[in-house]
Structure 1
Amino acid sequence: MKSKQESIFSSKTLTYFLQLTETMNYTQAAQILGITQPALTQQIKKLERTVGAPLFYSVSKKLRLSDAGYTMLHATHNIYELLNEATDEIQQTTSANHGQIHLGILTSIETQVLEDFAVQYYQDNPDIHVTFHMLTRKEIWDGLENNEIDLAIMYLPDDSIKNWKPYDSKKIMSEDLLFIHHNDELADKKRIKPKKTLDCPWVMYPVGYYLDQMVSEEYKNQMVDQPDIVARFTQPGQIYRFMKATNTYSALPKSYLMSLPDRDEITTASFDPQIKFDLSFVYRKAKDQIPRIAQFLEQFDSYLQEKDYYQRLDDIVAKKQGGAK
């Protein structure tokens, strides 16, 4: 017979409970978990019977956490934190030359430099297996919290995360968001005010994506209208191809535009004031003390010391152009 602790703290029970606290909707949570809504409801009711109090209540058909629910949520996060710390502590005694490294990379990032480094890293460390996961910001933070990814590669600062206490970051390079257009009247402008970019429809990232929020916030700060965005895509290549085919406006990171073989055919300008941000590693505190993670970060530093990020992008473009001849 299971003890009360086993009933409460089974992995499945906590997973179901956490997912419901994130969506606050039984139907959505069940779909994400891949189970039926009655099955989820049954598990939550079972958990409530075990702890002896309701964890959720409804107000105008909206689900809310009870006081007991908040206590359980806090305890669940503490449990996961302890498990993550134990995992990291164990891994700190492992070899630097064996194991796996999971990278969570923001989907809007241009990855060719990272891909080239992965090739070199594998050649130097064939017994360490590196996995690239292209993720949204929410998926990255969930992965970091649950110890499913070791290193995130993303843009900072990120105001969507209020509690940075469990995390550290390491800057890779500074980025500049560039305005892209086909307007001959703007061709000689190296810098452009947001109010001068509103005479044509835009293509951009989806609402809630980091760079879409950066643009939206800057235009709000400058007290000008938001761009008329007629299409949205998750990847910079999709945005770029749509922009070229439709003569719409857009804004993309300098690193992506530098990676294009046809970059001389497009017209860009920096925003005035500039929209700048950092490409960075983000990881749980002490994660960089795990031998294989520390070695990975050290080798990446050396990789960029030989040639910086933009120089390596130039090399990639030169290879592409040479191969096309």
Structure 2
Amino acid sequence: MKTTQENIFSSKTLSYFLQLSETMNYTQASQILGITQPALTQQIKKLERTVGAPLFYSIGKKLRMTDAGLTMLNATQEIYELLNRATDEIQQSTSATQGEITIGMLSSIEDRVVEDFIMNYYKDHPDVRVTFFTLSRKEIWERLENNRIDLAIMYLPDESIKNWKPYQAKSIMTEDLLFVHSNPELADLDKIRLKETLGENWVTYPENYYIDQTIREIYKNHLLDLPKSVARFSTPNQILRFAKQTGSYTALPKSFITSHQANLGGKTFATQFEPSVKFDLSFVYRTDKSEIPRIANFLTAFDEYLAGHGYEERLEMLQHVDD
């Protein structure tokens, strides 16, 4: 027969509890978790029966946490932190030149520079195995939290992340978002105002992707209608191909445009927004990760790689190599 502790820790119940405590909304939490709202409700009720007290209560449509819920939240966070710290302490005893490094990169980011660096890193460190994933923002944060990736490469700031305390960020470069179009009347513009970009349909990233949310926020902040999206794709290559074939407008990172300049052709143009739209490309990792020898060595080697030629210069060099 299972003990009370086994009933609590033998399932995903605590993960569900943590997600609900972060959003304080059953609908949002169930969407993020990829489960139905009744399934989430059932798991929370199961946890409440196990601990013998309600963890949440409602005032109107607002969800609140009980004193018992706050106690459970503190205990759960301490458990996760203890497990993560134990894992890191074990890993810190390994060699700087052996072992595995797992990296998750946002799928909307141009990966040529990172790919080239990893190939060069392997030549000098053949006993370090690098595992590389392209992931959605949700997948990246889930894997960071569960210690399934060591390093994330993503865009910041990211306001969807509420608890930054266990993490730190290391900036790689400042990224510009460019307006991409095939409109000859706009071809000679050095910069384009937001309201001038609403004349055609758009192709965009899926909802909740970082760049899609960034586009939505900037148009809302300038009291403008949102671009009308007629298609959504998860990678910039797909978006560019659709835009070229259909004449749709879109917005893509400057790093991607720099790396694929030859693919634009003479009829597709990339123009800076007015006002400009900028964000940081960064490494994100749990604070103690940089103390693991092979992780620290990897980050130092990446700095040295960019010291000779900057990120954008590397992109241009790699484009010419591919050509």
What TM-score do you get using the length of structure 2 for normalisation?
0.86
User: What is the distance in 2 between the residues matched to 1:231 and 1:304?
Assistant: 36
Aligned counterparts, 1:155-166, within 5 A = 155-166=155-166
User: What is the distance in 2 between the residues matched to 1:288 and 1:198?
Assistant: 45
Aligned to 2:224, the other structure's residue is in SS state coil
Deviates more, 1:111-120 or 1:55-64: 55-64
Equivalent position amino acid for 1:251 in 2: A
Equivalent position amino acid for 1:157 in 2: P
User: What is the distance in 2 between the residues matched to 1:34 and 1:201?
Assistant: 30
Which residue pairs with 2:282 in the alignment?
280
| 1:216-247, Cα deviation, whole Å (9 max, x unpaired) | 11112222221111111111111001000000
Which residue pairs with 1:171 in the alignment?
171
User: What is the distance in 2 between the residues matched to 1:41 and 1:161?
Assistant: 23
2:250 paired with 1:250 = yes
Shift of 1:126: 1.6
Alignment CA distance shift 1:5-1:280 (3 Å): same
Shift of 1:101: 1.0
Is the Cα–Cα contact under 8 Å of residues 257 and 270 in structure 2 kept in the other structure?
no
Equivalent position amino acid for 1:306 in 2: G
The counterpart of 2:297, out of the listed 295, 309, 312, is: 295
| 1:271-310, Cα deviation, whole Å (9 max, x unpaired) | 0110011100011112111100000001111111121112
Shift of 1:253: 0.3
Shift of 1:74: 3.1
Deviates more, 1:96-105 or 1:312-321: 312-321
Alignment CA distance shift 1:147-1:220 (3 Å): same
Task: Give the unaligned 5+ runs of structure 1.
Answer: none
Equivalent position amino acid for 1:255 in 2: S
Alignment CA distance shift 1:180-1:10 (3 Å): same
Deviates more, 1:277-286 or 1:124-133: 124-133
Shift of 1:54: 4.1
User: What is the distance in 2 between the residues matched to 1:273 and 1:27?
Assistant: 35
Shift of 1:196: 0.7
User: What is the distance in 2 between the residues matched to 1:191 and 1:32?
Assistant: 37
Which residue pairs with 2:140 in the alignment?
140
Is the Cα–Cα contact under 8 Å of residues 101 and 130 in structure 1 kept in the other structure?
yes
Which residue pairs with 1:129 in the alignment?
129
User: What is the distance in 2 between the residues matched to 1:126 and 1:293?
Assistant: 15
Which residue pairs with 2:116 in the alignment?
116
- The alignment yields a C-alpha RMSD, in angstroms, of 3.2
Shift of 1:26: 10
Task: Give the unaligned 5+ runs of structure 2.
Answer: none
2:150 paired with 1:150 = yes
User: What is the distance in 1 between the residues matched to 2:149 and 2:124?
Assistant: 22
Aligned to 2:149, the other structure's residue is in SS state coil
Is the Cα–Cα contact under 8 Å of residues 190 and 268 in structure 1 kept in the other structure?
no
User: What is the distance in 1 between the residues matched to 2:216 and 2:127?
Assistant: 44
Which residue pairs with 1:182 in the alignment?
182
What TM-score do you get using the length of structure 1 for normalisation?
0.86
Shift of 1:51: 2.0
